[in-house]
């Protein structure tokens, strides 16, 4: 009899657990979260039907807390993790994500990092037996009406001596809107994009945390993003985002959101209509 | 005088000697005080001589230990050195914290802060290039973000390593089914792991006076010991359950990093077990003095310099000596079931009264809401720990079951976090 109340409790919990899923159902809009992970990048894209794509993971464990705010508490599955390039402020947090979530597949360019930290992470990926998919310019990731186009790197950029220029560039087209995820790309990649593609987009993840060696006017004039989000830590030692970039973004009429000022920036997109829900 | 009285006084006077030396009291003054004290307690010349001798031994031992432990490394210079990670690294939110024991020609221990990746492990031998700076709080000296290279793994630490791995995989099981906030509180309750607490949450726990629930006190060890021995007695014979507990308790102490409070609880737990088995009377007075005596033999500096050691003993003394008075005065019944809140209230109060002087002098802070938050939380800690332990263990067998049970655990953890945050607010 001593344990009857405990068993009862467990059964109640089990019931709530099941019914929660039955009742809540999946979203049918597109949600993009620019997570506040300090000085580093991490974006979570939740496609219609709750398909979760995490692009980069910031420098440390902060991403876990952000994810748990955004995803249901019991949701421990991420469909795709995309890593733009192997620098610590982009993959550091992925170490713990991979450790704690079940992951469908890991998507990246195939260029290895040079640090001891990267070796550690690569080892963990192998241990967890997560399928790794290497992509390059021209590849496509598709789910129903949503499509991720891989714009860069091609062979040349992949081996660029500057690792930032080897960043995986993704353009998302879904729910009548388009968003560009840019990693840490610089002018070189920007020019390549402008020359090779039709770059008109609605939402821009501002490249390289607003470094002055990115977000050139030539690129911005083509892209004309209506919403720009800068992922940056407050009082970082790099002086990101730079005044130069902020004024360039303003000059093309883009509204600017920053994770250091606005916290996590959440865009809810339904049939071309974007609602912006910033934390602060 | 009975043998157990002699043992008690020997331990007591040794502790007095250590305390005096630690506080920097003059040796003659100490011996004089010991003479007076022992004469008042026992009117026998031989014993007075014996106890004064023991006091001197304690005094001497403290100084001997301090000299033997002397550190030898340059402070404030850029140097390169090798060392071994001698305790489990703390993988915090923004950095990694390593305690490193220096190797020849240097001597001593330092704390190294470094990037979250790559992950270093217990027993790693590192080559470090950086500057050792003095700690502002007078604890371990610090090396901030140096260049580190892993040059190997120290041998002969296999058992400890295995225990740490077991704990890590249990924490990992919790992490993979609970949200990070819940998982970090649960790891705190079960293993005293606090690396992942955010600054805000640490602060909230301190303000609400609930830090002790994750500081692995005797309370946690007792719950784990009782749960474990109950569970074991279902599966194996009583005799074997006794031996299993004798192994499990030290294993747990080592696994959780052997902090003073856990060691204290572990030793007392074992004494209790032995007393029960030998059908001897369990004398609290003797058990507590003997425990302190043993711990001080290993490190006499604990008594004066380790706040955890002081808090642990003070709280225990409070509960054992003050609580019975309150119990009589307010006529509290044991085993009163749902109304256990009264017991929690008065036990918390007793412990609070006993630790208050130490908390005030060490932290300069005292939580006015501690009584209420503790009454509301403590009642649920045992069941939370039980559920958390089951969730972590189930994780080895079935992810699905662990996930479901984790959800039930989350209900309790959510409530506890709510109470902690509620009572950390400035109400005035």
Beta-carbon contacts of B71 under 8 Å, excluding residues fewer than 6 positions away, are: B107, B108, B109
> Which pLDDT belongs to residue B339?
53
Chain B residue with the nearest C-alpha to that of A20 = B407
Chain B residue with the nearest C-alpha to that of A117 = B118
To the nearest whole Å, the CA of A102 is away from the closest chain B CA by 9
pLDDT tens string B86-109: 988 988 888 899 999 998 888 888
The two structure tokens encoding residue B331: 């006529």
Most confident of A19-28, A246-255, B369-378: A246-255
> Which pLDDT belongs to residue B268?
84
Chain pair A-B, CB pairs under 8 angstroms: 75
The hierarchical CATH code for the domain A3-21+29-278 is 3.60.15.10
The two structure tokens encoding residue A73: 């508490």
Residues of chain B short of pLDDT 70, as ranges, are 137-138, 156, 281, 334-340, 427-428
User: For the CA atoms of chain A, what is the radius of gyration?
Assistant: 19
pLDDT tens string B11-39: 999 999 999 998 888 888 888 888 888 88
Name the residue range of residue B88's domain. 78-153
Look at B93 and A60 and tell me if their CB atoms are within 8 Å: yes
Task: Indicate the number of domains in chain B.
Answer: 3
Residue B135 inside a domain? The answer is yes
Residue B397 inside a domain? The answer is no
φ/ψ of residue A232, rounded to 5: -155, 150
> Which pLDDT belongs to residue B415?
95
> Which pLDDT belongs to residue B243?
84
Question: What is the H or E stretch that residue A181 is in?
Answer: strand A177-181
> Which pLDDT belongs to residue B336?
55
The two structure tokens encoding residue B348: 């918390």
Q: Give the one of B117, B150, B180 whose C-beta lies nearest to A88's C-beta.
A: B117
Is-contact B164 B122, C-beta < 8 A? Answer: yes
The two structure tokens encoding residue B424: 């950390």
Residue B29 inside a domain? The answer is yes
- Let me know if B11 is exposed, middle or buried by CB neighbors in 10 A (0-12, 13-18, 19+): buried
Please indicate, yes or no, whether residues B262 and B298 belong to a single structural domain of this protein: yes
Q: How far apart are CA B227 and CA B343, in angstroms?
A: 21
Tell how many helices (H) and how many strands (E) occur in chain A: 10, 15
Q: How far apart are CA B377 and CA B415, in angstroms?
A: 8
Choose, out of A8, A12, A38, A60, the residue to mutate when testing the contact with B (most B CBs < 10 Å): A60
Please indicate, yes or no, whether residues B85 and B37 belong to a single structural domain of this protein: no
Choose, out of A8, A116, A128, the residue to mutate when testing the contact with B (most B CBs < 10 Å): A116
Look at B118 and A120 and tell me if their CB atoms are within 8 Å: yes
- From start to end of A56-176, where are the E strands? 77-82, 102-108, 132-134, 140-143, 146-152, 169-174
Q: How far apart are CA B64 and CA B73, in angstroms?
A: 20
Q: How far apart are CA B223 and CA B219, in angstroms?
A: 6
Q: How far apart are CA B392 and CA A223, in angstroms?
A: 50
Look at B94 and A76 and tell me if their CB atoms are within 8 Å: no
> Which pLDDT belongs to residue A254?
95
Is-contact B13 B55, C-beta < 8 A? Answer: yes
pLDDT tens string A161-194: 999 999 999 999 999 999 999 999 999 999 999 9
DSSP letters, A25-66, are ----SEEEEE---SSS--EEEEETTTEEEEE---SSTHHHHH
> Which pLDDT belongs to residue B337?
54
Q: How far apart are CA B313 and CA B311, in angstroms?
A: 6
Give the residue among A100, A108, A92, A107 at the shortest CA–CA distance from A57. Answer: A92
β-bridge pairing A203-205 and A177-181 = parallel
- Let me know if B327 is exposed, middle or buried by CB neighbors in 10 A (0-12, 13-18, 19+): middle
pLDDT tens string A106-156: 999 999 998 889 999 999 999 999 999 999 999 999 999 999 999 999 999
Look at B93 and A88 and tell me if their CB atoms are within 8 Å: no
> Which pLDDT belongs to residue B93?
83
Residue B287 inside a domain? The answer is yes
Give chain B positions within 8 Å (CB) of A116.
117-118, 150
Give the residue among B389, B198, B172, B406 at the shortest CA–CA distance from A100. Answer: B172
All structural domains of chain A with their residue ranges: 3-21+29-278
Residue B129 belongs to domain with CATH number: 2.40.50.140
φ/ψ of residue B337, rounded to 5: 65, -125
Our CA dihedral for B236, B237, B242, B245, rounded to 10 degrees, sits at 0
Residue B378 inside a domain? The answer is no
- The contact set of A with B (CB < 8 A) is 6, 9-10, 13-14, 16-17, 38, 59-62, 64-65, 68, 73-74, 76, 88, 92, 95, 99-101, 115-117, 119-121
- From start to end of B159-266, where are the E strands? none
pLDDT tens string B338-376: 556 777 788 878 888 888 888 888 777 777 788 888 888
Look at residue A74 and tell me whether its pLDDT is greater than 80: no
Is-contact A186 A152, C-beta < 8 A? Answer: no
Look at A68 and B180 and tell me if their CB atoms are within 8 Å: yes
Q: Give the one of B92, B119, B177 whose C-beta lies nearest to A120's C-beta.
A: B119
B227 at interface of A, judged by CB pairs closer than 8 A: no
B187 at interface of A, judged by CB pairs closer than 8 A: no
Averaged pLDDT, A83-102: 94
Instruction: Please give the angle made by the CA atoms of B419, B223 and B240, to the nearest 5 degrees.
Output: 160
Quickly state the pLDDT bin for A89 (edges 50, 70, 90).
Answer: very high
B198 at interface of A, judged by CB pairs closer than 8 A: yes
pTM of the model: 0.83
Give chain B positions within 8 Å (CB) of A60.
93-95, 116
φ/ψ of residue A87, rounded to 5: -115, 150
B404 at interface of A, judged by CB pairs closer than 8 A: yes
Choose, out of A37, A66, A96, A235, the residue to mutate when testing the contact with B (most B CBs < 10 Å): A96
Chain B residue with the nearest C-alpha to that of A92 = B117
For chain A, the average pLDDT equals 92
Which residues numbered 76-135 in B keep a CB inside 8 Å of some CB on A? 91-95, 115-119
Give the residue among A59, A64, A96 at the shortest CA–CA distance from B179. Answer: A64
Chain B residue with the nearest C-alpha to that of A98 = B176
B151 at interface of A, judged by CB pairs closer than 8 A: no
Look at B181 and A65 and tell me if their CB atoms are within 8 Å: yes
Chain A residue with the nearest C-alpha to that of B408 = A13
Side by side, the strands of the sheet bearing A77-82 are A132-134, A102-108, A77-82, A51-55, A43-47, A30-34, A265-270, A273-278
Question: What is the H or E stretch that residue B314 is in?
Answer: helix B307-317
Of B100, B133, B153, the last residue of a domain is B153
* ipTM, two decimals: 0.81
Q: Give the one of B116, B383, B403 whose C-beta lies nearest to A61's C-beta.
A: B116
């Amino acid at each position: 009899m001593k344990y009857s109340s405990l068993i009862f409790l467990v059964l109640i919990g089990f019931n709530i657990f099941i019914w929660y899923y039955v009742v809540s159902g999946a979203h049918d809009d597109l949600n993009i979260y620019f997570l506040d992970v300090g000085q580093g990048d991490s974006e979570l894209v939740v496609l219609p039907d709750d398909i979760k794509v995490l692009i980069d993971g910031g420098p440390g464990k902060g991403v876990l807390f952000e994810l748990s705010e955004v995803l249901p508490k019991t949701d421990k599955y991420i469909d795709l993790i995309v890593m733009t390039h192997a620098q610590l402020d982009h993959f550091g947090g992925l170490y713990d994500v991979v450790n704690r979530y079940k992951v469908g597949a890991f998507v990246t360019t195939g260029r290895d990092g040079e640090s001891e930290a990267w070796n550690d992470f690569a080892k963990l990926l192998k241990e967890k037996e997560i399928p790794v998919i290497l992509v390059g310019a021209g590849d496509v990731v598709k789910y129903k009406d949503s499509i991720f186009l891989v714009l860069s790197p091609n062979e040349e950029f992949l081996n660029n001596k500057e690792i930032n220029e080897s960043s995986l560039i993704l353009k998302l087209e879904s729910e009548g809107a388009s968003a560009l995820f840019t990693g840490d790309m610089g002018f070189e990649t920007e020019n390549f994009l402008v020359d090779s593609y039709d770059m008109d987009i609605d939402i821009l993840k501002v490249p390289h945390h607003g470094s002055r060696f990115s977000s050139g006017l030539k690129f911005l004039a083509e892209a004309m993003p209506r919403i720009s989000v800068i992922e940056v830590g407050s009082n970082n030692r790099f002086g990101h985002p730079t005044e130069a970039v902020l004024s360039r973004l303003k000059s093309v009429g883009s509204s600017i959101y920053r994770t250091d000022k606005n916290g996590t920036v959440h865009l809810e997109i339904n049939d071309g209509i974007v609602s912006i829900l910033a934390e602060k | 005088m009975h043998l157990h009285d002699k043992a008690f006084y020997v331990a007591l006077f040794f502790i007095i000697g250590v305390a005096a030396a630690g506080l920097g009291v003059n040796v003659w003054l100490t011996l004089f005080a010991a003479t007076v004290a022992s004469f008042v307690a026992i009117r026998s010349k031989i014993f007075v001589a014996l106890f004064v001798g023991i006091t001197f031994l304690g005094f001497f031992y403290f100084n001997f230990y301090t000299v033997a432990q002397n550190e030898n490394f340059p402070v404030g210079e850029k140097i390169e050195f090798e060392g071994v990670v001698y305790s489990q690294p703390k993988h915090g939110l923004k950095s990694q914290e390593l305690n490193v024991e220096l190797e020849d020609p240097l001597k001593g221990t330092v704390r190294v802060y470094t990037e979250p990746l790559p992950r270093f492990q217990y027993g790693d031998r590192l080559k470090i290039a950086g500057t050792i700076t003095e700690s502002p709080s007078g604890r371990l000296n610090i090396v901030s973000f140096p260049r580190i290279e892993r040059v190997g793994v120290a041998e002969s630490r296999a058992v400890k390593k295995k225990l740490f791995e077991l704990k890590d995989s249990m924490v990992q099981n919790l992490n993979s089914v609970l949200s990070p906030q819940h998982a970090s509180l649960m790891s705190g309750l079960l293993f005293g792991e606090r690396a992942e607490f955010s600054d805000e949450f640490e602060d909230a726990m301190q303000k609400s006076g609930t830090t002790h629930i994750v500081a692995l006190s005797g309370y946690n060890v007792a719950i784990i010991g009782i749960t474990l021995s109950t569970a074991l007695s279902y599966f194996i014979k009583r005799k074997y359950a006794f031996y299993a507990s004798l192994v499990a308790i030290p294993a747990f102490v080592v696994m959780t990093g052997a902090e003073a409070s856990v060691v204290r609880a572990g030793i007392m737990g074992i004494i209790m077990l032995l007393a029960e088995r030998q059908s001897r009377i369990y004398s609290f007075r003797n058990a507590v003095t003997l425990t302190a005596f043993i711990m001080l033999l290993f490190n006499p500096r604990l008594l004066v310099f380790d706040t955890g050691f002081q808090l642990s003993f003070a709280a225990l003394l409070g509960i054992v000596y003050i609580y019975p008075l309150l119990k009589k005065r307010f006529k509290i019944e044991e085993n009163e079931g749902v109304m256990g809140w009264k017991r929690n209230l008065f036990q918390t109060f007793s412990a609070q009264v006993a630790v208050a002087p130490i908390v005030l002098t060490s932290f300069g802070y005292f939580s006015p809401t501690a009584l209420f938050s503790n009454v509301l939380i403590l009642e649920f800690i045992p069941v939370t720990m039980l559920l958390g332990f089951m969730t972590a263990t189930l994780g080895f067998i079935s992810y699905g079951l662990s996930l479901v049970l984790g959800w039930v655990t989350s209900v309790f953890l959510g409530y506890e976090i709510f109470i902690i945050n509620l009572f950390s607010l400035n109400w005035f």
